[in-house]
Amino acid sequence: MSATTLATQKIPVVPRMRSLLGSMLLAANPIPILNSYLDTYGDTLIMYIGGVRPTLLTRDPGLVQHILQKNHRNYPKSEFSHGIARYLGHGLLTSEGSYWLQQRRLIQPGFHRQRVAGLVGVMQAEINECLKPLERQLEQAGGAVEVAVHRLMTNTAFRIIARSTFSTNVDNAELERMSALLTAIQAFYVRTIRQPYLRPWLSLRNQFRAHDKLASELRGMVRGYVRQRQQIGDAHDDLLQMLLDVRYEDTGEPMTEDQVVDEALILLVAGHETSANALSWMWYLLAQHPQVVATMRASMAQVLGSRAATFADLPNLGYSLQIVQETMRLYPPAWILDRVAQEDDSYNGISLPKGTLISAYLLGVHHAPSLWEDAEVFRPERFAPELVKNQPPYAYVPFGGGPRLCIGNQFALTEMQLVLLEMLRRFEVGWIEQPPVQLQPLITLRPRQEIQLRFRARS
């Protein structure tokens, strides 16, 4: 698609010069720039990524629904999403077309509510493990301790997804290495997309090859766990076992080893930073909203007394879900999704010629004043069941939508509620004066600085 073809549509265009200047700042943090474009030009506009690649940016929920659901067949992911397959392989998140559909059908049952319920024991054990150092610190300090919340939540979320996938096959040092590899690969990949002009320089410095090596180390580790499981042959009730046990309906065959490695790796990637970031932002918000914590505690006292929550309790603790939902409205971990038009199409008078690159700006949708009253205010009450039905379609899309809706959404909502409830059961959380934590939007929406909060053991 040429810039001029897109630019002749009746959609406001961010002037190339402004785009180019913006692209310098865009590399550091695109969000203020994207917001300023939308505030100036309206909910849907054309801008140039890196000053060169035209893209249609939208926070119109109707257009988001059009590309994700109503006419999804015309909108596969773009090369930005597919490119990461170089490092992470072709799992559900990175594959397309009939191969994707076949894999989705195969794997979907492994994420049904009952299967997720079966993983709750693992989640709880990992939450306990991750909170132990904090408990010890609190015992020694005898009062309150300052906690680096993003570090703690990243560790917790990674352990939950890694053990839900591989059970106890992985030791702690390996967990840390895997997590570090994933972070390095993603940060590098985002850099190559956002600053395409750096590619020759990165190539000269052998950075592509260096990251290929990191990726093959990561795949090697995952392959090792898969082989170990197959050799020892002891069945586990985890996601890897599910991947090994499923059979294609037409042939009755299992996946090949490469396919299992691809899918297992994608689960780690998709299920790690997303939950970690949502949980970090959740504590950031809760520490500043003690009345929300008080409401949650009142509900916990009624439903649980002093015991830990089980999966069966969650439906009776609806406010915990509302807290998680409202956190992901303000801080959607998947903050932008990309698609590309396969054929000429139109939506609401906007023509979308073949090749149009579309960025569905989920963060923009979740903050749009036209969709949300007091959009910047953290208010879990807006997710009360009787109010949710008034939300316009696709105004709230933290897990995407349509056939490619996040397959791990039940898993993620369960894990996040369990972390919330268990930590509130054990600790008081307190705010420490600090400058507002800035956003660091990579593939997921991270906090740029560490979030420091004060935790105290509950008596």
**Taking the complex as a whole, how short is the minimal distance between the CB of residue 388 and ligand HEM, in angstroms?**
17
Please identify, among the stretches 38-46, 113-121, 184-192, 269-277, the one whose residues bind ligand HEM according to the rule CB under 6 A. Answer: 269-277
**Taking the complex as a whole, how short is the minimal distance between the CB of residue 220 and ligand HEM, in angstroms?**
21
The dihedrals phi and psi of 89, each to the nearest 5 degrees, come to 85, -175
User: CB-wise, 138 or 266, nearer to ligand HEM?
Assistant: 266
The dihedrals phi and psi of 294, each to the nearest 5 degrees, come to -65, -40
| Residues contacting residue 324 through CB under 8 Å, at least 6 positions apart | 278, 282, 413, 416, 417, 420
**Taking the complex as a whole, how short is the minimal distance between the CB of residue 125 and ligand HEM, in angstroms?**
17
Contact status: 395 vs ligand HEM (CB under 6 A)? no
Contact status: 82 vs ligand HEM (CB under 6 A)? no
Report which residue type is found at 35: N
Tell me the per-residue interface mask from 195 to 224 with ligand HEM, x by CB under 6 A, - otherwise. Answer: ------------------------------
| Residues contacting residue 311 through CB under 8 Å, at least 6 positions apart | 117, 120, 414
Contact status: 412 vs ligand HEM (CB under 6 A)? yes
| Residues contacting residue 421 through CB under 8 Å, at least 6 positions apart | 300, 304, 308, 309, 317, 320
> Token pair 């010890």 is at which residue?
136
**Taking the complex as a whole, how short is the minimal distance between the CB of residue 194 and ligand HEM, in angstroms?**
18
The dihedrals phi and psi of 74, each to the nearest 5 degrees, come to -85, -5
- In this structure, are residues 360 and 336 in contact, taking their beta carbons and an 8 Å threshold? yes
Contact status: 271 vs ligand HEM (CB under 6 A)? yes
Q: Which of residues 100-139 bind ligand HEM (CB under 6 A)?
A: 104
Tell me the per-residue interface mask from 157 to 176 with ligand HEM, x by CB under 6 A, - otherwise. Answer: ----x---------------
Contact status: 64 vs ligand HEM (CB under 6 A)? no
Contact status: 92 vs ligand HEM (CB under 6 A)? yes
Contact status: 333 vs ligand HEM (CB under 6 A)? yes
Q: Which of 64, 221, 337, 453 binds ligand HEM (CB under 6 A)?
A: 337
Is beta strand 357-360 parallel, antiparallel or unpaired with respect to 337-340? Answer: antiparallel
Q: Which two tokens stand for residue 314?
A: 């969650």
- In this structure, are residues 194 and 51 in contact, taking their beta carbons and an 8 Å threshold? no
Q: Which two tokens stand for residue 239?
A: 């996601």
Contact status: 340 vs ligand HEM (CB under 6 A)? no
C-alpha to C-alpha distance for 206 and 195, rounded to whole angstroms: 16
Contact status: 398 vs ligand HEM (CB under 6 A)? yes
User: CB-wise, 99 or 197, nearer to ligand HEM?
Assistant: 99
Q: Which of residues 277-306 bind ligand HEM (CB under 6 A)?
A: 278
Q: Which two tokens stand for residue 363?
A: 């963060």
Please identify, among the stretches 140-148, 186-194, 222-230, 396-404, the one whose residues bind ligand HEM according to the rule CB under 6 A. Answer: 396-404
User: CB-wise, 170 or 406, nearer to ligand HEM?
Assistant: 406
In angstroms, the Cα distances linking 217 to 223, 228, 300 are 10, 16, 44
Q: Which two tokens stand for residue 392?
A: 């316009």
How far does the chain reach from its first CA to its final CA, in angstroms? 63
**Taking the complex as a whole, how short is the minimal distance between the CB of residue 292 and ligand HEM, in angstroms?**
19
Q: Which of 399, 414, 445, 455 binds ligand HEM (CB under 6 A)?
A: 399
User: CB-wise, 215 or 336, nearer to ligand HEM?
Assistant: 336
- In this structure, are residues 257 and 223 in contact, taking their beta carbons and an 8 Å threshold? yes
Residues that bind ligand HEM (CB under 6 A): 77, 92-93, 104, 161, 266-267, 270-271, 274-275, 278, 333-334, 337, 398-400, 404, 406-408, 411-412
